[in-house]
């Protein structure tokens, strides 16, 4: 194949030197201790990615506060200066292995449980999230919003002190900042809701405070460019949001889609019902005899929309045409040809993958050397459901006997 842009040649993102244009997109790893401190297991995972040729590693989301902690297994945290030395050791090892690394920071908003955080869930509006079975979240006040934006900025400063090459603000997948951006979950009529600009206000304040703390340190943002609901985010809204992000001074945008409560919209593919039964907290309250009866209903509820591959590329292309900052696209990109075509057609500046790297940490090397043209990942989503109670890995065909 002859392409003007070689995905495997060195490049840069806001001055950060990268060995190639393929990014490891943020993926929850579940490899932290009870305080959110990264473990040796996580350090080795990142080293494998770096040695396998990944151009940039973006960590799984780190919690900026106890209130914003997610309900998945052993989430990493960046809410205390005491965590900086452990993260600095990680970044040094990744750099030695040959790759840059950005930290994704997040607040879960309503997508968590009081059992996990010790506090009531919070959100832009008083709208319940059915996925977590919590009471309707507390509607944040002005003072509380300002406190959260301060916590994001403080977390970003810790990221810089820990030796990371940049920070990514998680504004996608239904977490707190996305909850403000989406007209489906933000029904406010004050300065934090209504127009695109008002819904963006919390993100703008977060970026402004973060920039004042970290200076010229790279800041990128992950957004969802679409949602299933009629009143949710559509590509046109995402386009306006992207323009506001550029105006706010971010250094790049990663384009994804959906939110957790939409089922397998953001991670399209198979329906991992066996591991859903054993690992989801709601199923533990149900008799095993009901599991087969619920399967048809659950399969319909969590059905993946079409297409199953390259499903955010069109949205990324639209955004790239409208902004002058780098655009990264993720979502069902599985072959060397699709990577090359996406980059050479000008639809994105970088591509990011998540699930394929779980099974093949050295996938970039395989593509670059021509040893493989497609990822082995079958998009079964067992890894996604396993994240509730297990560390990150491919669990397809490796479940306990009672699930088979």
- Tokens 């900026």 correspond to 64
Q: Which two tokens stand for residue 214?
A: 């970290």
DSSP string, 163-195: T-SEEEEEE-BTSHHHHHH-TTT----STTSSS
Residue 131's Cα: distance from chain center in Å? 18
In angstroms, the CA 184 to CA 174 distance is 10
In angstroms, the CA 130 to CA 252 distance is 32
In angstroms, the CA 185 to CA 333 distance is 28
Residues 120, 138 contacting (CB under 8 angstroms): yes
Residues 231, 183 contacting (CB under 8 angstroms): yes
In angstroms, the CA 338 to CA 329 distance is 12
Count of all residues that appear for the chain in the document: 404
In angstroms, the CA 188 to CA 125 distance is 6
Enclosing H/E stretch for 206: helix 196-214
For 402, other C-beta atoms within 10 Å of its C-beta total 10
In angstroms, the CA 223 to CA 129 distance is 19
Catalytic annotation, pick one of 73, 175, 311, 396 = 175
φ and ψ at residue 62, rounded to 5 degrees = -105, 135
In angstroms, the CA 247 to CA 264 distance is 32
Residue 61 a catalytic site member:
no
Residue among 78, 72, 84, 85 nearest 31 (CA): 72
- Tokens 């900086």 correspond to 84
In angstroms, the CA 352 to CA 172 distance is 15
Q: Is 223 helix (H, G, I), strand (E, B) or coil?
A: strand
Residue among 198, 199, 204 nearest 221 (CA): 204
Q: What is the DSSP letter of 264?
A: S
Enclosing H/E stretch for 331: none
Active site positions, annotated = 175
């Amino acid at each position: 194949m002859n392409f003007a842009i070689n995905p495997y040649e060195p490049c840069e993102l806001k001055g950060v030197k990268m060995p190639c244009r393929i990014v490891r997109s943020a993926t929850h790893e579940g490899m932290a201790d009870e305080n959110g401190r990264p473990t040796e297991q996580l350090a080795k995972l990142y080293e494998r990615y770096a040695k396998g040729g990944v151009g940039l590693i973006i960590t799984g989301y780190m919690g900026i506060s106890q209130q914003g902690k997610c309900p998945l297994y052993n989430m990493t945290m960046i809410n205390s200066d005491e965590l900086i030395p452990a993260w600095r050791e990680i970044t040094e090892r990744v750099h030695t292995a040959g790759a840059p690394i950005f930290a994704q920071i997040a607040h879960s908003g309503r997508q968590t449980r009081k059992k996990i955080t010790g506090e009531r869930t919070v959100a832009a509006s008083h709208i319940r999230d059915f996925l977590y079975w919590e009471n309707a979240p507390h509607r944040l006040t002005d003072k509380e919003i300002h406190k959260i934006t301060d916590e994001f900025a403080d977390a970003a400063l810790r990221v810089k002190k820990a030796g990371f090459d940049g920070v990514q603000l998680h504004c996608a997948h239904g977490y707190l900042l996305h909850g403000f951006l989406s007209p489906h979950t933000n029904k406010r009529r004050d300065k934090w809701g209504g127009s695109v600009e008002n819904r963006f206000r919390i993100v703008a304040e977060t970026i402004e405070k973060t920039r004042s703390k970290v200076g010229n340190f790279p800041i990128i943002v992950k957004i969802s460019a679409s949602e299933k609901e009629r009143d949710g985010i559509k590509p046109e809204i995402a386009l306006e949001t992207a323009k506001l992000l550029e105006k706010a001074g971010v250094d790049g945008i990663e384009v994804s889609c959906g939110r957790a409560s939409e089922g397998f919209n953001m991670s399209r593919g198979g329906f991992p019902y066996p591991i859903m039964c054993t690992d989801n907290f709601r199923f533990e309250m149900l008799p095993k005899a009901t599991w087969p009866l619920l399967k048809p209903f659950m399969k319909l509820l969590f059905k993946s929309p079409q297409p199953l591959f390259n499903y955010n590329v069109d949205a990324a292309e639209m955004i790239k045409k409208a902004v002058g900052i780098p655009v990264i696209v993720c979502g069902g990109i599985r072959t060397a040809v699709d990577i090359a075509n996406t980059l050479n057609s000008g639809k994105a500046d970088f591509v990011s993958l998540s699930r394929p790297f779980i099974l093949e940490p050295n996938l970039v090397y395989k593509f670059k050397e021509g040893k493989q043209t497609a990822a082995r990942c079958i998009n079964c989503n067992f890894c996604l459901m396993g994240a509730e109670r297990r560390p990150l890995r491919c669990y397809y065909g490796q479940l306990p006997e009672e699930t088979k």
